[in-house]
Structure 1
Amino acid sequence: MLALLASLASGETVLALKRARRMATVYLIAIITGSIGAGFMVGAAYIWTARKLGSLEAALVFGAVFIVSALIILLVYKLTSGPRARRASQQRKSDLTAFATAAGIAVLPTLLRRPVGVTALLVPGLAVIAYAIYRENMRKGDKDDTNPLDR
């Protein structure tokens, strides 16, 4: 925290933002000029193909190549989206668990100071243990429709 305040006071943050903005501008210009170059290369390839095959045939070939390329891109995206979604879901669960653990640890000293605090910890703890036992003894084929967390 102290390092952050020191960097703010010294102006390093402003300099870092200026560097980031400059870098983004350079990358944007590079992407634009690269796209223009790629467009000219496609145009040149079309002209070469049109000279070899004819205008109509070249247009059909280029159209087919771009459509097939688009379909391949969509297929690859569709095939990789399932594992990506599962990884994101696991990451969210992990983050939520870490957050709940940190919050529980942070509130623990406050609860233990009060005489009622021990009881306040025991009741939810026993509920969690009872639920874990219930889940363990439930058959694999049965689905608990009453638990909104399983949906």
Structure 2
Amino acid sequence: MGTLVSLISGLASGEAVAALQRARLTAILYGLAGVFALCGVGFLIGAAYIWLAALYGPLATSLGFGIGFLVIAGLIVVIHKLTTSMRARRRARRRKADMTAVGVTAALALLPALAKSKGGLGTLLAPAIALAAYAIYRENVKAGPRDKDRSETP
């Protein structure tokens, strides 16, 4: 309750507006710094081009810079594709673990209420027996490549 009162009083006193203005100013300043940093990198690349053009000639230097930038772009795309698939698998594992935890928590929360109800133990045992039967069925139906080879040989 105290947190809610603090939040409401902060909004009423204008702290939120001041924080928003500070965040906007910070974003603008970082944006300007980024633009100037990109300009600096551009001039450094231009200086490297002029220096290498004096050594190897403008055509060879242009070809070298073009091929170099294309290789860098290709590496960025390949690395992004590899990391994206790894992150997707990691998110799927985390989501599965979270859903399992939510299911177990919900089951444990409902356990006392189900035990006290009219059905009592039968209400709890029927789904458990069905789940065990389904697990046994899935185990026996699943035929892997090794199982197929064994079944074909007499």
Please, what TM-score do these two structures have when normalized by structure 1?
0.70
2:108 pairs with 1:133: no
What SS does the aligned partner of 1:115 have?
coil
Taking the TM superposition and a 5 Å limit, the aligned residue runs for 1:77-116 are 77-116=80-119
Distance 1:123 1:108 in 2: 13
Equivalent residue number for residue 6 of structure 1: 5
Task: Read off the aligned partner of 1:14 and give its amino acid letter.
Answer: A
Please, what TM-score do these two structures have when normalized by structure 2?
0.69
Distance 2:24 2:124 in 1: 50
Task: Read off the aligned partner of 1:5 and give its amino acid letter.
Answer: L
| Structure 1 residues 46 and 79: CA distance shift in structure 2, 3 A | same
Structure 1: stretches of 5+ with no match in the other structure = 143-151
Question: Which among 123, 126, 133 is matched to residue 126 of structure 2?
Answer: 123
| Structure 1 residues 67 and 127: CA distance shift in structure 2, 3 A | same
Equivalent residue number for residue 55 of structure 1: 58
Identity of aligned residues (%): 44
Equivalent residue number for residue 75 of structure 1: 78
Distance 2:26 2:69 in 1: 32
Equivalent residue number for residue 41 of structure 1: 44
| Structure 1 residues 4 and 41: CA distance shift in structure 2, 3 A | farther
Deviation per CA, 1:105-146: give whole Å up to 9, x if none.
44444444431365443322222222233344455607xxxx
| Structure 1 residues 34 and 121: CA distance shift in structure 2, 3 A | farther
Distance 2:118 2:24 in 1: 56
Deviation per CA, 1:18-62: give whole Å up to 9, x if none.
254444444333323222222222222222222222222211110
Instruction: Mark the structure with the bigger radius of gyration.
Output: 2
| Structure 1 residues 33 and 109: CA distance shift in structure 2, 3 A | farther
Distance 1:21 1:124 in 2: 56
